[in-house]
Amino acid sequence: MYAGIDIGSRTIGMVAMSAGQIKQFRLEDTGFEPTDTAQKILDGTYSRIVATGYGRHSAKAEFADDIITEIKAHALGAAWIFPGVRTVLDIGGQDTKVISLNEHGAVIDFLMNDRCSAGTGKFLEIMSTALGYNSVSEFGQEALTGEGTIKISNMCTVFAESEAVTLLHRGAPKKDIALALHASVVERTVGMLQRAGFKTPLVFTGGVAKNRCINSLLATKLGVDVLVPEEPQLVGALGAALAAAKDGFTA
């Protein structure tokens, strides 16, 4: 069996494959000791482990046989689930990536947001808390029922939070503010996709792909179908498992 592990800032995903089939998968919160958590999840015997995600270098130092970047991992994973994919949008806990693939599934270009977390999973998490929602999924669900009467102009997590709080105090409906915050993420993402000259099929991966409001706004704004895998948070781990199997020598 081959294992891929994706050590992200918020979650750690693991996919194990054998004979071209997914045999196991798991997803855990990263916690405070990412490398330990990762090792606990990997409780089988694997002929080869490939790590990806921001914790990949520590994983290599501790237990992984090899590493690939999240960019390559998401491209490999997305192309396995959706053959022929030309663009992968990955919005994770702390960054956004747009990956362009050629017709053979090879990465030909990519864009990644700079150091700040504007428009990422972390942004949505903080806004959800600021508005008093119990979970990000509740936040996304509520936003779907909001009316597009408000525009949040700030992209910065800190400024956008104070903007949202100010709106609350002014008596704006919570779900409208929620919608506006989602719309601001989508606007930023669409800008990145356009800069990359995105092509279809477009696949959306990462934790934020589970947010139904983001999905629906994105599809409307782009005017194309946005393909979301069943487990968007595991696409990186899947890509790493595929990389492990590809360079491996036994089944």
**Which of residues 108 and 251 has its CB atom nearest to another protein in the complex?**
108
**Which of residues 115 and 170 has its CB atom nearest to another protein in the complex?**
115
Q: Based on C-alpha coordinates, what's the Rg of the chain? A: 18
What is the smallest separation between the CB atom of 110 and another protein, expressed in angstroms? 6
**Which of residues 72 and 188 has its CB atom nearest to another protein in the complex?**
72
**Which of residues 1 and 71 has its CB atom nearest to another protein in the complex?**
71
Do strands 107-112 and 96-101 pair parallel, antiparallel, or not at all (unpaired)? antiparallel
Q: Which two tokens stand for residue 61?
A: 């130092």
Q: Which two tokens stand for residue 31?
A: 């916690």
Count how many Cα atoms sit within 13 Å of the Cα of residue 137 in the half-sphere of its side chain: 2
What is the smallest separation between the CB atom of 142 and another protein, expressed in angstroms? 32
Buried b (16+ CB within 10 A) or exposed e, 67-94: bbbbbbbbbbbbbbbbeebbbbbbbbbb
3-state secondary structure 21-73: EEEEEEEEECCCCHHHHHHHHCCCCCCEEEEECCCHHHHHHHCCCEECCHHHH
**Which of residues 151 and 195 has its CB atom nearest to another protein in the complex?**
195
What is the smallest separation between the CB atom of 106 and another protein, expressed in angstroms? 8
What is the smallest separation between the CB atom of 130 and another protein, expressed in angstroms? 24
What is the smallest separation between the CB atom of 234 and another protein, expressed in angstroms? 19
The contacts of residue 31 (CB under 8 Å, 6+ apart) are 37
* Residues within the interface to another protein (CB under 8 A): 54, 68-72, 95, 106-110, 112, 114-115
What is the smallest separation between the CB atom of 238 and another protein, expressed in angstroms? 17
**Which of residues 91 and 179 has its CB atom nearest to another protein in the complex?**
91
Q: Where are the alpha helices (DSSP H) in 86-195?
A: 121-130, 136-144, 157-169, 174-195
